[in-house]
Amino acid sequence: MSDDIARARALLRDAATAVVLTGAGISAESGVPTFRGGSGLWGQFRAEDLATPEAFARDPRRVWEWYAWRRTLVAECAPNAAHRALAEWALHRGTVTIVTQNVDGLHARAAREAAGEDDPARALPLEVHGSLFRDKCSGCGTRSDPVPVDATSVSTLPRCPRCGALLRPDVVWFGEMLDQHVLAAADGAAATADVCLVIGTSALVYPAASLPLRTRAHGGVVIEVNPEATALTRAAEISIRGAAAAVVPQLLNEG
Ligand code: BJW
Ligand code: ZN
């Protein structure tokens, strides 16, 4: 075991409270594409065409086609060893808040699998960028379970049963506000945690990227797990260069 991993293990073990911030990298080994970097989604697609409210207003069919493809892709993926180790740790400790930028639902799936017959609540994440598997009305804002999407034309796209406006995926696009209750809960956890464990995010997208800085500002430590240096590396007490599924179980598992 490397010195950094041993130090990080001790800090995590001794922390009275911890917050975990995850990004697309934690799901990379499950087969979910990341956004940035060589093979990331933003290398193949333009965020401005797909992940902004303006793009949806301009071409909702194209946006839905892309999200329908991603729903299918993610539905075929499963939580990996990093999601599982985090879920077990959070269930066991009860003083851990998992905050994820991911919309793939893999933390919640790992939490339910780890809890079995028990209540998974302690390991359910705060999903600050929403969920791929929930719809929201673009008119009245009502949230609902996802309906099957036929993106052949605008006239076949799903509509709100209450007001008739187009439904959209309940994810947070660029230029949109995050859910204020979810963000406040994440911010509160980050601002009081002894340790912030940051896994698999480029830490470029705000306000999520400021959460570890909140922990640091009040005297807590930041531990980063990422194969590459990021915007956050300089603020991290310990930066472990490695893949999440290999490193995270080493940090959190007992023994
Ligand atoms: C591995 C690995 C392995 C690989 N193991 N690791 C302040 C300053 C500057 C700009 C702003 C600011 N405040 C607001 C902004 C604007 C904007 C923003 O941040 N822009 C920046 C890009 C400059 N933010 C917003 O618009 C946000 N809204 C907002 O702030 O509202 C208030 C407001 C409104 C209007 C004006 C001003 C303020 C909303 C942001 C919404 C982001 N949405 C997306 C799409 C979600 C839906 C979807 O999935 O389709 O969220 S964009 C995309 O980026 C997605 C992600 O959650 C997010 C973060 O990406 P993440 O997770 O970090 O992924 P990657 O790909 O970037 O990185 C992966 C990492 O994993 C890499 O580091 C790899 O090395 C690593 N990795 N394999 C571990 N095996
Ligand atoms: Zn509606």
Q: Tens-of-pLDDT digits for all 255 residues of the chain? A: 789 999 999 999 999 999 999 999 999 999 999 999 889 999 999 999 999 999 999 999 999 999 999 999 999 999 999 999 999 999 999 899 999 999 999 999 999 999 999 999 999 999 999 999 999 999 999 999 999 999 999 999 999 999 999 999 999 999 999 999 999 999 999 999 999 999 999 999 999 999 999 999 999 999 999 999 999 999 999 999 999 999 999 999 986
Nearest ligand 1 atom to the CA of 174 is 26
Q: Are residues 94 and 62 in the same domain?
A: no
pLDDT at 70: 97
The residues with which 136 forms a beta bridge, in sequence order, are: 143, 168
Q: Are residues 141 and 245 in the same domain?
A: no
pLDDT at 87: 98
83 is catalytic: no
Give the β-pairing of 167-171 and 130-137: antiparallel
Pick left, alpha or beta for residue 23 (phi over 0 → left; psi -120 to 50 → alpha; otherwise beta): beta
Q: Are residues 239 and 159 in the same domain?
A: no
Which of 83, 92, 107, 129 is catalytic? The answer is 129
Q: Which two tokens stand for residue 95?
A: 């003083």
CB of 243 closer than 6 angstroms to any ligand 1 atom? yes
CB of 43 closer than 6 angstroms to any ligand 1 atom? no
Nearest ligand 1 atom to the CA of 206 is 19
CB of 105 closer than 6 angstroms to any ligand 1 atom? no
CATH code of the domain containing 48: 3.30.1600.10
Task: Please tell me the total count of domains within the chain.
Answer: 2
pLDDT at 113: 98
Q: Report yes or no: 120 and 114 within 8 Å, Cβ to Cβ.
A: yes
Burial (Cβ within 10 Å: 0-12, 13-18, ≥19) of residue 36: middle
Q: Are residues 24 and 146 in the same domain?
A: no
Q: Are residues 140 and 245 in the same domain?
A: no
The closest alpha carbon to 107, from 80, 136, 73, belongs to 80
Q: Are residues 164 and 221 in the same domain?
A: no
Structural domain for 60, as ranges? 41-76+134-171
Question: Would the pTM of this model clear 0.85, i.e. be above it?
Answer: yes
Cα-to-centroid distance, 217 and ligand 2 (Å) = 41
Q: Are residues 19 and 145 in the same domain?
A: no
Cα-to-centroid distance, 101 and ligand 2 (Å) = 25
Nearest residue CA, atom 10 of ligand 1?
A: 206
3-state SS, residue 115: helix
Out of 147, 171, 195, a domain closes at 171
Q: Are residues 104 and 212 in the same domain?
A: yes
Distance CA 249, CA 232 (A): 22
Q: Are residues 125 and 139 in the same domain?
A: no
Q: Are residues 247 and 188 in the same domain?
A: yes
Q: Are residues 184 and 163 in the same domain?
A: no
Reported for 11-16, long-range contacts at CB under 8 A and 24+ positions apart, including other chains, are: 11/194, 11/195, 11/221, 11/223, 11/237, 11/238, 12/195, 12/197, 12/223, 12/251, 12/252, 14/194, 15/95, 15/193, 15/194, 15/195, 16/95, 16/194
Cα-to-centroid distance, 191 and ligand 2 (Å) = 36
pLDDT at 245: 98
Distance CA 37, CA 43 (A): 7
Number of Cβ within a 10 Å radius of residue 92: 14
Q: Are residues 120 and 163 in the same domain?
A: no
Cα-to-centroid distance, 99 and ligand 2 (Å) = 28
Out of 171, 197, 230, a domain closes at 171
pLDDT at 254: 82
CB of 169 closer than 6 angstroms to any ligand 1 atom? no
pLDDT at 1: 72
CATH code of the domain containing 99: 3.40.50.1220
